[in-house]
Amino acid sequence: MLPLIPPEDWPQQLGLWRGIGEHLFARADFSGFWPPEMGFTMELIPLIRRLGYRYVLADANHIEPVTPMRCDELRYRPHVARHGGAEITVVVRDRELSDA
């Protein structure tokens, strides 16, 4: 899972994932990022933005809203997340529904 590997290895890991996507889909432009194993941490936001992604899909388990939200307000809607001066849109999925 991406957040469990050392942060200095993140650029190489994301570069490898991007290379696989470019090969499989025969294109180089990807607006969204689906993290491997749905592993997401706010610290990834600056790197994801530098790589050109505009949005990321994340598990509800990895998201803590700034203000309290009901489940239906949090999941399957775009939210803005900021970290380290970078900003990205996060679409939150429901792990249990996806697993079902």
Where are the chain's structural domains? 28-99
Using an 8 Å Cβ cutoff, are 40 and 58 in contact?
yes
**For residue 7, how many C-alpha atoms fall within 13 Å in the half-sphere facing its CB?**
9
Q: How confident is the model at residue 1 (pLDDT cuts 50, 70, 90)?
A: low
Using an 8 Å Cβ cutoff, are 79 and 42 in contact?
no
End-to-end CA, the chain: 21
83, pLDDT greater than 70: yes
Mean predicted confidence (pLDDT) in 78-97 = 88
Q: What is the pLDDT of residues 16-40, one digit of tens each?
A: 888 998 999 999 889 999 887 778 8
pLDDT of residue 98: 64
